[in-house]
Amino acid sequence: MTTLMNAALPASTTLALTSTTPALPAGLTDIDAACITAAIAAARTESTRTVYDQAWSQWERWCAARGIPALPGDPLALCAYLTERAEAGKRRAPSTSLAPPSDTSTASPASRTPSPPRPSGRCAAG
């Protein structure tokens, strides 16, 4: 499972395998995990994974300060975290790294970045 989580992070960051890292769910194989990892890595650019890493680090620090496990995320803890972040955002200018993506609905089709191709059938990762 750590491999799957690492795929979403920047290349310079990896999660350490710990005794609390969950195993693959029953019925999923290492090949399934490799396919998922490849799809996650291909779906996000390095800069996007860097922003995700920063946001995840903030969540982990917030949880650690309160003695709450980051995974699995408790829905009420997540609500409290998001409420706190929203309140903090009202008191200061928004951070550009956490700003929502720009609206591309009015952009010409030629200026839009194409979506990565979606895998068809069984993945050949290995």
Q: Token pair of 88, please? A: 């903090």
Find, among 25, 29, 4, the residue nearest to 14 by Cα. 4
pLDDT confidence tier of residue 1, bands split at 50, 70 and 90: very low
- The model's pLDDT over 99-110, given as tens digits with 9 standing for 90+, comes to 445 545 555 555
Q: For the stretch 18-33, what's the b/e string if a residue is b when 16 or more beta carbons lie within 10 angstroms of its beta carbon?
A: eeeeeeeeeeeeeebb
pLDDT confidence tier of residue 70, bands split at 50, 70 and 90: very high
Is pLDDT above 70 for 10? no
- The model's pLDDT over 81-103, given as tens digits with 9 standing for 90+, comes to 999 999 988 776 555 555 445 54
Other residues' Cβ atoms within 10 Å of the Cβ of residue 59: 19
